[in-house]
Structure 1
Amino acid sequence: MQQDIRDKFKNYKEENVELSKNHSIKFEALLQQELHQNKPKKNYIKWLSVAASVMLLVSIGIQFYPNKTSEPIITKNDNDTTTKQITLGNISPEFNTIETYYTNSINLEISQLDLSDENKELVDSYLLKIAELTKEYKNLTQELNTKGVNDATIDALIRNLQLRLQLLQRLKKQLNEFKNLNTKQNELQII
């Protein structure tokens, strides 16, 4: 495979090719013709810029279009004065996402509870605590409306939602432990 290049050139004979006398003139004419030829402009760049502009306008429109999943601002009419009720969900889209997540999670946990006569007291005690936290959440929302939006109230609202979810998760865990304990006791009685 390895060959010496000098060996290749030993047998090489240069061919004598003669160019026509006006070769350089023909070459220059062809070169000038190629250089000064009008190339058709590519229209896809124009269309690409139009498409990008349309996409930009559509995305801006979507960004500022009212979000239908957020709760509407409730208005109360007392003696012809209109006040807007502020909730955590209509402060900003991020808070709306947080509130929706926690309320959906709380509702899901409540719907998945296994109620029976044996665990009724335990479930009732937890649901009583959750009802107190729900009442406190409504009071915090009223405070948000009277004192205005502030970080302390927003943090308290979020902590309230988190605490309710944690209580439900703890209840679910205790119900599973209670169920497992009853299953083990039944197995021991059978043996």
Structure 2
Amino acid sequence: MQKDIRESLKNYKEKNVELSANHSSKFEDLLQQEMHQHKPKKKNYEWLFIAASVVLLVSLAIKFYPSNTIEEDPKITPKEISLGSISPEFQTIETYYTNSINLEISQLELTDENKEMVDGYLLKIAELTKEYKSLTKELNTKGVNDATIDALIRNLQLRLQLLQRLKKQLQQLKNLNTNQNETQII
């Protein structure tokens, strides 16, 4: 049953409660004790300072530890010569061919049907790349000459032509497979 709370409050008489004389001082003492118990503790970061000191000492030791390596003066060390470093025109030619070769390789569509053919071409291109590196070494040992420069350019041209031929053959193979599939469907 519900009881109306207003009626209960009408009959309520306040009790006379007397507080002790030192009630406020006891209350303040309790508050002080509570504050001391809940005071945030200072974290001990001493281990962090030790670790930072160790890291600093190790890094300084590595930096200033004498090493037996002799630093070479870049003025004395001969710069390696490549086709692109001979002149800006050769740099343009080398950049054009290497970018074109990389583009052709990235556009190859490798499937199970053409894997063997692609592998054969890539083997030939790898051989030509190896030959290109040996020609570059020859350029550095014997010096700049027309025969080596021509051989380097022909090598780049041949690699690009091989990739273009491979791309053409892959397209023909794809067309042939498409025509065979169309014939089988009809």
RMSD: 1.0
How many angstroms apart in 1 are the aligned matches of 2:171 and 2:121? Answer: 15
Partner of 2:130: 135
How many angstroms apart in 1 are the aligned matches of 2:116 and 2:78? Answer: 42
Partner of 2:98: 103
**TM-score (ref. length: structure 2):** 0.59
Spell out structure 1 runs of 4+ moving beyond 6 A. none
CA radius of gyration, larger in: 2
How many angstroms apart in 1 are the aligned matches of 2:119 and 2:86? Answer: 33
What's the secondary structure of 1:83's corresponding residue? coil
**TM-score (ref. length: structure 1):** 0.58
Amino acid at match of 1:126: Y
Residue by residue over 1:26-66, the C-alpha shift from the partner in whole angstroms, topping out at 9 and shown as x without a partner, is xxxxxxxxxxxxxxxxxxxxxxxxxxxxxxxxxxxxxxxxx
Amino acid at match of 1:157: L
Question: Aligned residue pairs: how many?
Answer: 112
Which residue among 85, 88, 96 is the counterpart of 1:90?
85
Residue by residue over 1:52-96, the C-alpha shift from the partner in whole angstroms, topping out at 9 and shown as x without a partner, is xxxxxxxxxxxxxxxxxxxxxxxxx6xxx7232100000000000
How many angstroms apart in 2 are the aligned matches of 1:163 and 1:101? Answer: 13
How many angstroms apart in 2 are the aligned matches of 1:83 and 1:134? Answer: 24
Q: How does 1:27-66 map to 2 (within 5 A)?
A: none
What's the secondary structure of 2:110's corresponding residue? coil
Of structures 1 and 2, the one with the larger relative CO (CA 8 A, separation 6+) is 2
How many angstroms apart in 2 are the aligned matches of 1:86 and 1:182? Answer: 47
How many angstroms apart in 1 are the aligned matches of 2:128 and 2:169? Answer: 20
Deviation at 1:186, TM superposition (A): 0.5
Higher strand share: 1
Partner of 1:159: 154
Q: Percent identity?
A: 84
